[in-house]
Structure 1
Amino acid sequence: MPEIATTPFADQKPGTSGLRKKVRIFQQPHYAENFIQSVFDVIEAPAGATLVVGGDGRFHNRVVIQTAIRMAAANGFGRVVVGQGGILSTPAASNLIRKRQAFGGLILSASHNPGGPDGDFGIKYNVGNGGPAPAKITDAIFARACEIDRYRIMDAPDVDLGTLGEQRVSDLVVEVVAPVADYAALMEQLFDFDAIRAMIAGGFRLSFDAMHAVTGPYAHEILENRLGAPAGTVVNGTPQDDFGGHHPDPNLVHARALYERMMAADAPDFGAASDGDGDRNLILGRGIFVTPSDSLAALAADAHLAPGYAAGLKGIARSMPTSQAADRVAAKLDILLHETPTGWKFFGNLLDAGMATICGEESAGTGSDHVREKDGLWAVLLWLNILAVRKISVAELMTEHWRTYGRTYYARHDYEGIATRGADALMAGIRERLAMLPGETVGDLTVETADDFAYTDPTDEITSSGQGVRICFAGGSRIVVRLSGTGTQGATLRVYLERYEPADGRLDLATGDALAPLVAAAEALLSIRSHTDRKAPDVVT
């Protein structure tokens, strides 16, 4: 097969969600090719294997898809299944890998990061279960990328990504499929569309902001066409390669217009948004924002109301920085609660082993065993199914939830693009002091335990250490601090703050007021200002 000589790039180490860099980095000659070939060399797919390829439509998406197809042809794959126009949401890609029993898939996305020529791009390899490659594979990919000296690629014209059906690149069959069809069919199996449709027909109003990202076509088809929501329910529903110049992260900063719409006197009953590649969600009711941690807990508590989960849950899994609200639901349901490191790949093993059914991360990712990725629209549909059955508002549901389980006030403070040296020094400093913290008092808070989170996967006994610092206070409140692996410049420091109020406690505080003592404690314990040269976080969610 045709081979091109190349030399390694030193910066191709995948993070928690694949390789993410600025577009201009990926536009370097051989850069994408080196990484894709490193993936193919490591996975050693058998001749004739099927590969799923798609992305979130961001700038440079189509270029790399064409490259990946030509390289798949030269590396012995028998079939590539690609979304029409190069479009596949991340959960839809996971579903397609599973349904087609593909060997794996390449998902071209930088998730919630900005797009456009000056934005970000990314490549992630998902394995045959539909989930992100585990660390042993991503580590091997990086090792191969550090020594690669050639890649294989066919000299062939571009595939017509706009036309459904089969085409050929040498011996490779390229099948262009409708990106929404299989995913929408799966959602109809999981949820009571008749009940949701009746609720909407009865006057229930919703607003979904697709943020000019990949979920636009999915939301138009499911919410408007199949569930009968009126035209205009989905806003910013046409994917654009720069996401309309906006940042496609469904939080209160970047989805501000939706938030203001939901806080208005004439607000719809339900509001939601999803991110660049469709795996995250923002949930709002009239006059109320539901934190992702609370959303996970509320969905787990009432998931049995949806047909796909009527048999109950096998367990709940949450990432370590996600609040402990779901823990209390698991305790009441008498099911397992798994606390894992950040990264959906840790959930995949639990789902495959039948040890969990619903999973969630504080970073607005929620999902279940229907695929092996978090899934923004799935969360929206489960919320709608629950509301249709319960016949109460979002605010009423959350008030009832807190009166049953207590309330966890929660926020995440992000310090973005800070100097790596300062971020590393902050983490090293707090780690050195962990053993001395228990018993220390900061204001009215007393440290009960402090550790550097390590996780041993119960399915394969592999231990992941150094996953973030937990400082737990008497009474159930805590501070978590870690460095994120999803940025492309400098370091991102994330500080997670949670305060627990029991069911008979103060459940109606403003979140900022409730967390003020923890904000002060975080500064006292971590010296954030001196290490980051920031007086305040860049983003609060």
Structure 2
Amino acid sequence: MIRTVTSTPYTDQKPGTSGLRKKVKVFQQANYAENFVQSVFDVVEDKAGATLVIGGDGRFLNREVIQIAIRMAAANGFGRAIVGRGGILSTPAASHMIRKRGAIGGLVLSASHNPGGPDEDFGIKYNIANGGPAPESITDAINARTLDIDRWLTVDAADIDLDQDGEVMVGDMPVEVVDPVEDYAALMETLFDFDAIRASKLTMAFDAMSAVTGPYATEILERRLGFAAGTVRNGTPLPDFGGHHPDPNLVHAHELYETMMAPDAPDFGAASDGDGDRNLIIGRHRFVTPSDSLAMLAANAHLAPGYAGGLKGIARSMPTSAAADRVAAALGIPAYETPTGWKFFGNLLDAGMATICGEESAGTGSDHVREKDGLWAVLLWLNILAVRGESVDAIARDHWAKFGRNYYARHDYEGIETPRADALMAALRASLATLPGKQFGDLTVETADEFAYTDPTDGSISRNQGVRILFTGGSRVVFRLSGTGTTGATLRVYLERYEPVGGDLDRETSDMLASIVAAAESIAGIAQHTGRSAPDVVT
């Protein structure tokens, strides 16, 4: 029996680049989650009889909202719901499940790398039939619906047992609880040479950060690839991620960094984030930035069976360093520079124009799914290490000797009062026309603009995607406000210095970027606008 529940709109449910993210207490308001889910369902066309995938990263509120969403899906006419056991589906595994099962889309319940727990963050994202995040046309329609919604639909049914594989009925809709790892692990075996990785006898440390990747890493790394028991650390997903921040960077994965810098470090270290779509790559005594990792993976991807035929193209987000562009040029394939957000890559992947994509925020992936994929990057690195028989450090040095090095860092100023952040960006935009030709220390501004992107697949234009200051010689600084936080604004400052082949290729990054940091402050007046004398996080 379908039941209609009267509701009134909330005005703060506009999805960002990665869905709707708010504090748990916001989602716990009466009808809040229900309003948003119903708005998604009201926008989805042809849902009658269609399959819907539902899963999340195991964070606090995950199970409760899954039960709500199942009952609402039954009331809204979906033909079948597929749910990961325990409510678990990593974001890349959800993308694969949508594609493999021919689903119309999926609800991914996650706030990605944001903290979890009763006082922390929760999120809901809708992915479309290609397995990727909903495009702006759909998120705009969802937002419009949230502003005038007056009811949501459900069925009167008990909670299902999320921990028991099998099929149950909720109303007239079958709900299938499935192993969240099996299909994803099988996909990885088609892309990588598991035999070569096993035979290499590599040692590694993997930090799952008490988040969703734990079960996937344990199954693939320890059981299928034969790495020692205990290789996967913090491998049990916890609602509060063990009180830690599940963001795979050198700040929040510091214990892994210490392990990899020790005299007896294993060959390879890696970490993944809350929902499994990001990665940290670190070899014995060598950290690899996400921008460099993208470039090195692209340069060596042909060593893995799934990419032996070569790449169709490489895509990177605009703030990501240009290191991958140099690989694309050497390979004679296109390089695409897109706005931040995996949906832009999805269009290129669907059109067969790109094979490997990446973002500086620790996200890399390929055309096997339509999301970034942390474990995929780890496995491709392992395949490369196994075939080349060299260390991460040796591979990095060889890469820089061939292509030059893009020294790179990101400075995050978190929780800035939104009016202050907006004022800083407005002042930057107003100064763009006057900047070319100006000198800041040893740097001369070549061009300055606000990045806009014309999608080569459909001609759509995305404007206001970040301010770029490009210096002569290939160095630059980029300023952008992020949409992934839940309070205030985060200013991200991306700093890049290109050192050509034959140059100074093995210096401390902070030393090499000092002049870029000084130029960024002079150009943007960060301290004046924000009152901050230093970033909160440096990655």
TM-score range, shorter chain: over 0.9
Among 522, 536, 539, the residue aligned to 2:537:
539
Partner of 2:53: 52
Distance 2:451 2:336 in 1: 13
- Given that residues 91 and 375 in structure 1 are in contact (C-alpha distance below 8 angstroms), is that contact kept between their aligned partners in structure 2? yes
Q: Verify: 1:466 aligned to 2:470, yes or no.
A: no
Provide the rounded CA distance (Å) in 1 between the counterparts of 2:230 and 2:164: 27
Gaps in structure 2 of 5+ consecutive residues: none
Determine if the alignment matches structure 1 residue 236 to structure 2 residue 237.
no
Q: How does 1:11-26 map to 2 (within 5 A)?
A: 11-26=12-27
Give, in angstroms, the shift of residue 10 of structure 1.
0.4
CA distance in 2, matches of 1:153, 1:456: 41
Partner-residue secondary structure (3-state), 2:155: coil
Could you tell me which residue of structure 2 aligns to residue 106 of structure 1? Answer: 107
CA deviation map 1:82-106 (0-9, x unaligned): 0000000000000000000000000
Q: Which residue of 2 aligns with 1:133?
A: 134
* d(CA) in 1 for partners of 2:173, 2:522: 60
Corresponding residue of 2:381: 383
Matching residue of 2:475: 477
Look up the match of 1:407. 405
SS of 2:495 mapped into structure 1: strand
Shift in Å, 1:43: 1.1
Which residue of structure 2 aligns with residue 184 of structure 1? 185
Q: 1:44, CA displacement in angstroms?
A: 2.2
Say yes or no: does 1:338 pair with 2:330.
no
CA drift of 1:378 comes to 0.2
Alignment partners' CA distance in 2, 1:10 and 1:328? 45
Query: How far did residue 532 of structure 1 move?
Result: 1.0
Is 1:528 paired with 2:529?
Answer: no
One-letter code of the match for 2:6?
A
Aligned residue runs from structure 1 range 25-104, under 5 A: 25-104=26-105
The answer (yes or no) to whether the contact 1:45–1:77 under 8 Å persists in 2 is no
Distance 2:96 2:532 in 1: 42
Are residue 373 (structure 1) and residue 371 (structure 2) matched? yes
Amino acid at match of 1:488: T
Q: Encode CA deviations 1:448-501: one digit per residue, 9 max, x unaligned.
A: 001000001011100000000000000000000000000000000000000000
The superposition leaves residues 332-356 of structure 1 with CA deviations (integer Å, 9 ceiling, x where unpaired) of 0010100000000000000000000
- 2:486 aligns with 488
Q: Deviation above 2 Å: which 4+ runs of structure 1?
A: none
- C-alpha distance in 2 between matches for 1:393 and 1:76: 54
Counterpart secondary structure, 1:2: strand
Q: TM-score, normalised by structure 2?
A: 0.99
Residue 509 of structure 1, CA deviation = 1.1
Aligned residues: 538
1:355-377 deviation digits (Å, cap 9, x = unpaired) = 00000000000000000000000
Q: Confirm or deny that 1:209 pairs with 2:210.
A: no
Using the alignment, how far apart are the partners of 1:44 and 1:348 within structure 2? Answer: 20
> What per-residue deviation string (whole Å, max 9, x for no partner) do you get for residues 405-464 of structure 1?
000000000000011011000000010111111001001100000100000101110000
> Any idea what SS the aligned residue of 1:161 has?
coil
Report the alpha carbon displacement of residue 57 of structure 1 after superposing the two structures with TM: 0.1
Measure the CA separation in 2 of the matches of 1:385 and 1:11.
Answer: 45
Structure 2 distance, partners of 1:530, 1:16, is 29
* Residue type at the aligned position of 1:235: R
The amino acid across from 1:420 in the alignment is T
Judge conservation of contact 1:438–1:449 (CA < 8 Å) in 2: yes
Give distance in 2, aligned partners of 1:37 and 1:171. Answer: 18
Where does residue 123 of structure 1 map in the other structure? 124
Give distance in 2, aligned partners of 1:74 and 1:81: 16
User: Aligned equivalents of 1:429 and 1:533: distance in 2?
Assistant: 16
2:512 aligns to what? Answer: 514
Which residue pairs with 2:438 in the alignment?
440
**What is the alpha-carbon distance in structure 2 between the residues aligned to residue 435 and residue 74 of structure 1?**
55
CA shift at 1:45, angstroms? 3.2
The amino acid of 2:179's aligned partner reads A
- Is 1:5 the counterpart of 2:6? The answer is yes
Alpha-carbon distance in 2 for matches of 1:260, 1:516: 25
Measure, in 1, the Cα distance between the counterparts of 2:448 and 2:369.
34
Distance 1:153 1:30 in 2: 12
Question: Partners of 1:456 and 1:3 in 2: how far apart?
Answer: 42
Whole-angstrom distance in 1 between the partners of 2:414 and 2:123: 19
**Preserved contact between residue 438 and residue 450 of structure 1 (Cα < 8 Å):** yes
Displacement of 1:530 in angstroms is: 1.0
2:324 counterpart of 1:326: yes
Q: Could you tell me the percent identity over the aligned residues? A: 75
Q: Which residue of 2 aligns with 1:153?
A: 154
Specify the SS of the correspondent of 1:153: strand
Deviation readout 1:369-413 (Å, 9 max, x if unpaired): 000000000000000000100000000000000000000000000
2:294 aligned to 293, 296, 299, which one? 296
Contact 1:124 1:132 in 2 (8 A): yes
Aligned equivalents of 1:308 and 1:431: distance in 2?
A: 44
User: 1:263 is matched by which residue type in structure 2?
Assistant: M
Provide the residue aligned with 2:282 in structure 1.
Answer: 284
Q: Report the equivalent of 1:364.
A: 362
Partners of 1:144 and 1:441 in 2: CA distance: 49
TM-score of the superposition, structure 1-length normalised?
Answer: 0.99
Q: Take 2:6 and 2:156, find their aligned partners in 1: how far apart are those partners?
A: 15
Which of 497, 500, 503 aligns to 1:502? It is 500
After TM superposition, the structure 1 = structure 2 runs for residues 158-169 of structure 1, keeping only pairs within 5 Å, are: 158-169=159-170
Cα distance in structure 1, aligned partners of 2:430 and 2:258: 43
- Kindly provide the CA deviation profile for residues 277-306 of structure 1, in whole angstroms up to 9, marking residues without a partner as x: 000000000001000000000000000000
One-letter amino acid of the counterpart of residue 170, structure 2: V
- Alpha-carbon displacement from aligned partner over 1:163-201 (angstroms, at most 9, x marks no partner): 10100001100000000000000000000000001012x
